[in-house]
Structures are given as structure tokens and as C-alpha cells.
């Protein structure tokens, strides 16, 4: 079912959902099931699966020549989604990125997703590879999420890259996009970021999932600004509790967000990592209560494959 229909059917009740990563290469699917099982009691209508772009390694040949080789660390997002849908009968939402795909490969991936009965996709540009300083589009691939979005919309209208298909073969994906309450780090200012966000909604995006944030006011202001800018689709808050003291540095560095001083000081004052986890969970429980009161359609958790903290929060909220 489409995420927009899940939200409509909930009639104002806040839903629970979460995101996970495909397992590491060589590990079976059981690790994913072990991460999902403890969260199923909260009835997630959908589960997101991220996509990680292949990285490079440099292979040294006997001649001394260095060859740049692309390699994949994890089985595919599509395969992980298929396994989840098969076992849990919930909607799996694959993240679809521009990086690493030519337009033809994107189209083929979407044909596979339709074949599997996947109704929703979260359309993103994708992060830069670890070995690249900034995002480099794949030759003959899409450079911005809006281009990828247009491609999915075209397929929904029966317009494929190389042919026009008859109506019975149109795709029917409900398309989500990313939003950044504290601005995307490459955007020169918030207003420009909103311009591109609005462009994606005008093209056909039907829901927004936000980057994580630790101040509910960031979400509240973001939703207000969306509405002021004529962006009227559901805005799903993305949430992650702090679970280690190192994250006081790594989360702002990686995700370009602010951690409120009250939270950072509470974490710094902790005498053990177990205490840090408790503080992080309590903060998130309070955030979730406020988000529910604000009418957030879904509370969407970035589990990073660890269900424990999310379960504790969900127990307090749902």
C-alpha cells in the first residue's frame, strides 16, 4: 500500500516505522530479521531499506599499475526489501539513489521493484562515496534527486527511456523525498533549499522524510515553512536517539545538525556509556511526545540495525 494511504487510513493517529541497512556481505538475512522482530509489536506499516553506493579500492598489479575497482559491501537493497516483504507482509520502502546508476540501470531497478510489488520508493541523490570529497554523478546517471524523481514520474505515466509502454504497464510508485529541517549542507541558504524541495513536490513527490534532528522546534519550523512555501505533503520526522558519547561529534559532523546544549551537557555529565544511552533515549521519548502532539503522521526511526533503543522509545510512546 502507498505510504500516503497508510497515513490517510490512520485518520490522524501517529504511526511507527523505521529504517535499516542491508546486511554486510557474507552475513545472512537472519541479522535483519533479528533487528526487525522486536519492533513488529508496534505495527510498522512500512520499513525503509537504505541504499549504499559502491566504493572504490585500488588494486595493485604486478606491473605496478594501480587499478580503480568498484566493490560492494552489502547485498542489494532490492533483495533485502523482497526478503522483508515476504516474511512480514509489510511494505518495504527501498531508497533509490542517483549515484552508481546509469539511467538505464535505474529504470531496470524500478522494473524489478514493480515486479516485486513494491509500492513506495524514497528518491535521493545519495551521499558522496567515502573516497570522493563530494558527490560525483555517474556518467549517464542522474545528478539530482529531482532528475531521478522525474524519471520515476515518467514511468508512472508510461514513459520509459526507450519506448512508450501501453497503460497496463505503467508503474504506480508513491514517491518520497528527503527534507532537511536544518538545511542541506550544500545549499547556500535555507530558502534555496526550499526552492528545490518545492520543485521536487511540484514534480510529484508525495511525502517527505526528514533528516534526524534533536530539537522539535526544528521540525515544527520546517513544517510551517513547507506550508508557507506551498508544500502540503506529509512530513515524516526522521529520528535517532543518541546512544554513545562519540555521537556528540560524529552526528553533527556526518549529518550537519545541531545538538541542543541541554542534551550535549547532559551527555557530557554522564559517568558511563550506559548512562549516555539512557539520557539519549529519555530525550527522544520527550521529543516523540511533542511530535505526536504536533500531529506528526509517523515517527520514523533510524535504527542503524539496532532495535534496542528504538524499542524502549516505542514502548513509552505507542
Q: Which residues are catalytic?
A: 19
How far is Cα 56 from Cα 131, in angstroms, rounded to an integer? 7
List of long-range contacts for 80-86, beta carbons under 8 Å, 24+ apart: 80/22, 80/23, 80/29, 80/32, 80/49, 81/49, 81/113, 81/116, 81/118, 82/116, 83/29, 83/32, 84/32, 84/36, 84/47, 84/49, 85/116, 85/117, 85/118
Smaller CB distance to ligand FAD: residue 209 or 279? Answer: 209
Closest CA to 36 of 119, 116, 92: 92
Of residues 127, 212, 208, the one with CA closest to residue 175 = 208
Q: Return the number of the residue (234 or 267) whose C-beta is nearest ligand FAD.
A: 234
Cα 256 to Cα 267: distance, rounded to the nearest angstrom: 19
Q: Which stretch binds ligand FAD (CB under 6 A): 109-117, 121-129, 215-223, 242-250?
A: 121-129
Least spacing, CB of residue 29 vs ligand FAD, in Å: 18
Report in angstroms the alpha-carbon separations of 302 from 12, 83, 169, 211, 299.
22, 19, 34, 10, 10
Instruction: Establish if 95 lies at the interface with ligand FAD (CB under 6 A).
Output: yes
Question: C-alpha cell of 253?
Answer: 559532523
**Do residues 131 and 122 lie in contact, with contact meaning Cβ atoms separated by under 8 Å?**
no
* Among the listed residues 204, 179, 207, 208, the one whose alpha carbon sits nearest the alpha carbon of residue 193: 179
| 50 touches ligand FAD (CB under 6 A) | yes
Interaction of residue 206 with ligand FAD, rule CB under 6 A? no
Residue 264: all three cell numbers together: 550535549
Q: Which stretch binds ligand FAD (CB under 6 A): 59-67, 124-132, 155-163, 214-222?
A: 124-132
Cβ distance to ligand FAD smaller for residue 216 or 235: 235
CB nearer ligand FAD, residue 116 or residue 316: 116
Residue 125 interacts with ligand FAD (CB under 6 A): yes or no: yes
Grid cell 493517529 — which residue? 13
The verdict on 39 binding ligand FAD (CB under 6 A) reads no
**Between 33 and 144, whose beta carbon lies closer to ligand FAD?**
144
User: Which of 144, 150, 206, 285 contacts ligand FAD by CB under 6 A?
Assistant: 144
Instruction: Report, in Å, the least distance between residue 53 CB and ligand FAD.
Output: 6
Region binding ligand FAD by CB under 6 A among candidate stretches 142-150, 164-172, 216-224, 283-291: 142-150
Residues 225-244: x where in contact with ligand FAD by CB under 6 A, - otherwise, as a string: -------------x------
Q: Does 291 bind ligand FAD (CB under 6 A)?
A: no
User: In this complex, which beta carbon is closest to ligand FAD, that of residue 18 or of residue 42?
Assistant: 18
186 near ligand FAD, rule: CB under 6 A: yes
Q: What is the rounded CA–CA span in Å between residue 72 and residue 22?
A: 11
Q: Which of 91, 107, 182, 193 binds ligand FAD (CB under 6 A)?
A: 193
Tell me which residues touch ligand FAD (CB under 6 A): 50-51, 53, 95, 97, 124-127, 144-146, 178, 184, 186-187, 192-193, 196, 209, 211, 238
Amino acid at each position: 500500500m502507498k505510504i500516503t494511504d497508510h497515513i490517510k487510513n490512520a485518520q490522524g493517529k501517529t504511526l511507527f516505522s523505521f529504517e535499516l541497512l542491508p546486511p554486510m556481505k557474507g552475513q545472512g538475512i537472519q541479522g535483519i530479521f533479528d533487528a526487525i522482530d522486536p519492533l513488529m509489536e508496534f505495527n510498522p506499516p512500512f520499513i525503509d531499506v537504505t541504499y549504499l553506493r559502491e566504493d572504490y579500492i585500488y588494486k595493485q598489479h604486478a606491473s605496478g599499475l594501480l587499478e580503480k575497482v568498484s566493490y560492494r559491501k552489502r547485498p542489494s537493497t532490492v533483495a533485502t526489501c523482497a526478503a522483508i516483504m515476504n516474511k512480514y507482509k509489510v511494505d518495504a520502502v527501498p531508497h533509490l539513489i542517483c549515484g552508481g546508476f546509469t539511467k538505464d540501470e535505474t529504470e531496470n531497478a524500478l522494473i524489478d521493484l514493480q515486479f516485486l510489488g513494491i509500492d513506495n520508493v524514497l528518491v535521493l541523490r545519495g551521499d558522496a562515496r567515502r573516497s570522493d570529497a563530494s558527490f560525483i554523478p555517474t556518467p549517464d546517471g542522474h545528478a539530482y534527486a529531482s532528475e531521478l524523481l522525474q524519471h520515476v514520474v515518467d514511468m508512472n505515466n508510461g514513459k520509459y527511456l526507450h519506448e512508450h509502454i501501453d497503460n497496463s504497464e505503467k508503474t504506480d510508485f508513491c514517491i518520497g523525498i528527503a527534507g532537511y529541517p536544518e538545511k542541506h549542507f550544500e545549499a547556500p541558504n535555507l530558502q534555496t533549499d526550499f526552492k528545490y524541495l518545492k520543485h521536487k513536490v511540484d514534480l510529484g513527490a508525495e511525502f517527505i522524510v526528514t533528516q534526524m534532528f534533536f530539537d522539535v522546534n526544528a521540525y515544527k519550523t520546517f513544517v510551517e515553512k513547507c506550508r508557507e512555501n506551498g508544500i502540503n505533503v506529509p512530513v515524516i520526522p526522521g529520528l535517532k536517539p543518541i546512544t554513545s558519547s562519540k555521537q556528540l561529534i560524529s552526528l553533527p559532523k556526518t549529518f550537519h545538525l545541531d545538538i541542543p546544549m541541554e542534551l550535549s551537557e547532559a551527555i557530557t555529565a554522564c559517568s558511563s556509556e550506559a548512562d549516555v544511552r539512557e539520557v539519549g533515549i529519555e530525550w527522544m521519548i520527550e521529543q516523540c511526545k511533542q511530535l505526536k502532539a504536533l500531529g506528526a503522521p509517523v515517527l520514523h526511526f533510524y535504527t542503524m540495525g539496532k532495535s534496542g533503543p528504538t524499542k524502549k522509545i516505542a514502548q513509552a510512546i505507542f
